[in-house]
A and B are shown apart, each in its own frame.
Chain A
Amino acid sequence: MGSPIEHGGIEFVVAAYVITWVVLGAMLTRLIGAVRRARTEYQQASKGEFRT
């Protein structure tokens, strides 16, 4: 009988990779959205269309 690691580790490996990709993807989406929002805000403010 092999060690529990050999036979029971794959799901932990998959979970580690999936969580990593999901978190990085969420962060990337958030950053792209933040840049777009801030750039639009800046462009509006530059034209004097700023919100009070």
Chain B
Amino acid sequence: MSRNDTTQFGPPRPAPAWLGWGALLFFLFTQVYAVVTSPADAMMGHLQKILYVHVPSAWVTFAAFGVVLVASIHFLWKEDERADLLAAASAEVGAMFCGLTLIQGMLWGRPTWGVWWSWDARLTSTLVLFLIFVGYLALRSFVEDPHRRGQWSAAVGILGAINVPIVWMSVRWWRTLHQIQSDPREVAPVFLRGWLLNVAAFSLIAVWFIWKRYEAARYERAAEHAAQAAALGGNNG
């Protein structure tokens, strides 16, 4: 029996209500603020407003998969199941934002590049990243043993997260269709404010979502432990 099989933990600390309401209200404010205050861009027109959801979604994707990397390494090292549950929660939220990034990118690409999709280095590497984490989530649903599930998904999670710097650098390594990252120092303040505010709002939303997903996973595991304890108590009694 592995150490993890005997891991016992109680119910989680619930995500505070102020975090949820704060994230939601801040998100609504930043969305309206960015759309209302930013003028049409000289080159892109109003299409630049897509960047207020596209760039924050991409940033949150990278950050969530960074959490998967750290939590997966921690799980493999310490065999702490809580780290595995945190990695899974981050992977789920990260995969959702990665899917959103792809869809928003397609909606930006159609009117600017003339195509919904191109096998460009950035788009392709992002799609690969998305598919790796969809595979990660599928793997978790197939494996029942918590310890084996944790080990296998940690390996996939680490491999997937290694893809993040490749996605980031892809626009510099392979100069294809997608433009390179904008330097915030060269972006006009009227555009930059909305951009940064939305990055902060999306980050808060992601923290809240990951916390809620982790909370659900902890309750599920605590229920399993309580049921096992009750069954053992019943057998002994």
Residues of chain A at the chain B interface (Cβ within 8 Å): 3-6, 8-10, 12-13, 15-17, 19-20, 23-24, 27-28, 31-32, 34-35, 37-39, 41-42, 44-46, 48, 50
Q: Tell me the smallest distance from the CB of A42 to a CB of chain B, in Å.
A: 4
Contact of B227 among A10, A12, A16, A50 (CB under 8 A): A50
Q: Is B209 an interface residue (CB 8 A)?
A: yes
Interchain CA distance A4-B44 in the complex, whole Å: 10
B45 surroundings in chain A (CB, below 8 A): 3, 5-6, 9
Q: Tell me the smallest distance from the CB of B225 to a CB of chain A, in Å.
A: 8
Contact of A38 among B47, B50, B108, B220 (CB under 8 A): B220
A5 surroundings in chain B (CB, below 8 A): 43-45, 47, 111-112
Q: Is B129 an interface residue (CB 8 A)?
A: no
Q: Tell me the smallest distance from the CB of B206 to a CB of chain A, in Å.
A: 10
Interchain CA distance A31-B226 in the complex, whole Å: 22
Contact of A12 among B40, B43, B110 (CB under 8 A): B110
B212 surroundings in chain A (CB, below 8 A): 31-32, 34-35
Q: Is B57 an interface residue (CB 8 A)?
A: yes
B14 surroundings in chain A (CB, below 8 A): 35
Q: Are A42 and B223 in contact (CB under 8 A)?
A: yes
14 interchain pairs (CB within 8 A)? A5-B112, A12-B47, A12-B50, A15-B107, A17-B53, A31-B209, A31-B216, A34-B213, A38-B216, A42-B11, A42-B219, A42-B220, A42-B222, A42-B223
Q: Is B215 an interface residue (CB 8 A)?
A: yes
Interchain CA distance A41-B11 in the complex, whole Å: 11
Interchain CA distance A5-B49 in the complex, whole Å: 12
Q: Are B222 and A13 in contact (CB under 8 A)?
A: no
Q: Are B227 and A45 in contact (CB under 8 A)?
A: yes
- Give residues of chain B (24-81) contacting chain A, Cβ–Cβ below 8 Å: 31, 35, 40, 43-47, 49-50, 53-54, 57
Interchain CA distance A4-B134 in the complex, whole Å: 36
Q: Are B111 and A41 in contact (CB under 8 A)?
A: no
Binary per-residue interface labels of chain B (194-237) against chain A in the complex, 1 for a CB within 8 Å, 0 otherwise: 00000000000100010011011111101110110011001000
Q: Are B219 and A12 in contact (CB under 8 A)?
A: no
Q: Is B166 an interface residue (CB 8 A)?
A: no
B43 surroundings in chain A (CB, below 8 A): 5
B163 surroundings in chain A (CB, below 8 A): none
Interchain CA distance A3-B42 in the complex, whole Å: 10
Q: Which of A19, A27, A31 has the most CB of B within 10 A?
A: A31
A28 surroundings in chain B (CB, below 8 A): 209
Q: Are B216 and A12 in contact (CB under 8 A)?
A: no
